[in-house]
Amino acid sequence: MIKRQTTINRIFKVSGTGLHTGNTVNLEFLPRREFGIAFVHKGIIIPASYDMVADTRLSTLIAKSGATVSTIEHLMAAFYFSGITNCLVYIDGPEVPIMDGSAWEFYQGMWKAGVYEFPENGVYLKVLRTVEVARDDAYLRVKPLNTLDITMSIEFRAPVGKQKKRVTDVENAFSIINSRTFGFLEDLEAIRKVGLAKGATLENAVAIGEDSVVNPQGLRYKKELVNHKILDLIGDLYTSGYRILGKVEANKTGHHLNNLLLKELFSDAANYSIY
């Protein structure tokens, strides 16, 4: 387990295409002494925090003083798996690049950059009371536990159907890191009409057709789709600013409910402790 605050050991850069804008985006990662992850766009520092989230349609978008950065969830998950608590990310566009649709390339960059540890604590948030949010048959709850334990259930039309997965050793669940985002071909036209998914290709997403996965190489894992929903959840939960310790039960959750859970969690200081 991570014991202290950390940052990257050296500067590194990443470039890629935005999933929704279709434009090339450049990122530069800098070590940071101050606690937390933050983006710098248009000269404005935007904390990667749940209370900065301004939109949750198909991604998590943060905003401050007119500057926005969207699709931060995969990068935030990479920070989580890398054990990085503090970092400044300069970005020259409004969206984090999708890369291969997973968090793997971000994770590799952080691994190569190395980790520098500070003596300060304040890394973990331990859940003390059950917190739950729900909408229709979708729900997300977290219960007290001394580790992070996630059970995720999803349900979509065939050929996906119902999938469920439990991860008990989340910090070492590396199959989650390189599971890709996914979508249904029949939804693509409507999504593009509202100005999203302009950069979606078979190189950065799993495409699901009428009765099968369209990508020539198929899936990386049998449960890649539910894996990716866990990846999204981990990235969104890391906008809490802490490594959460609790038993998480998720059913048909998405970015909106993920953000609502954090707002509910922080609404009462009796729900958690920091150490």
Catalytic residues: 255
Quote the Cα angle for 97-61-179, to 5°.
50
Pairing of strands 24-30, 12-17: antiparallel
What are the respective helix, strand and coil percentages of the chain, to the nearest 5?
25, 35, 40
By the 8 A CB rule, do 52 and 1 touch?
no
Alpha carbon distance 221, 248 (integer Å): 22
How many angstroms separate the CA atoms of 70 and 105, rounded?
Answer: 18
* Token pair listed for 197: 């998914």
- Rounded to the nearest 5 degrees, what angle is found at the Cα of 8, between the Cα atoms of 36 and 55? 40
User: What does the block give as tokens for 63?
Assistant: 């905003």
Rounded Cα distance, 136 and 127, in Å: 25
Backbone angles phi, psi at 120, to 5 degrees: -75, 145
